Amino acid sequence: MQLTKAEEQLMQYLWEKETAFMKDLIDAYQEPKPAATTIATLLKRMTDKNFIGYKLYGNSREYYPIVLKTDYFSKHVARLIKTFFNDSVSQFASFFTKETAMTEAQLEELKKIIDQEIKRKRP
C-alpha cells in the first residue's frame, strides 16, 4: 500500500521523531501550518493503512510508525524500477547516474558503496 504525498510528508516527521502527539506533528510543519482536522484525517488514514499506531493517554494519542522508513522506501524504489525501467536495475542505474547531474565525487562515492556491497555478498 502506498501513501499520498501529504501522508508521506507527515510520515517523514513521524520517522524523525519516532513518537509524537498530534500537536508535535503540527508544530513540525512550516507556516502556514495545516489545520488540526487535516492532520487528524491524515493520521486516521495512515492508521487504517497500518502505517502508524498509537498509544492512548487519556484523550491524547501518541503516534508511532509501524512501517520502517527503509522498508517503505525500498518498496517505493522497487515499484519505481518496475514501473518506469521495465524491472531493470541497470536501466535505473544508467538513468540515475546520467540524468541526475552527479559530480565525479558523487559517482566515486556511489562506486565505493557498490564495491563494498559486492565484497559483502561474495562467499
* Rounded Cα gap, residues 105 and 13, in angstroms: 30
Q: Three cell numbers at 103?
A: 559530480
Q: Which residues pair with 56 in a beta bridge?
A: 61
Query: What's the CATH fold of domain 5-65?
Result: Arc Repressor Mutant, subunit A (1.10.10)
Written as tens digits, the pLDDT of the chain (123 aa) is: 789 999 999 999 999 999 999 999 999 999 999 999 999 999 999 999 999 999 999 999 999 999 999 999 998 888 889 998 999 988 888 888 888 888 889 989 988 998 998 988 888
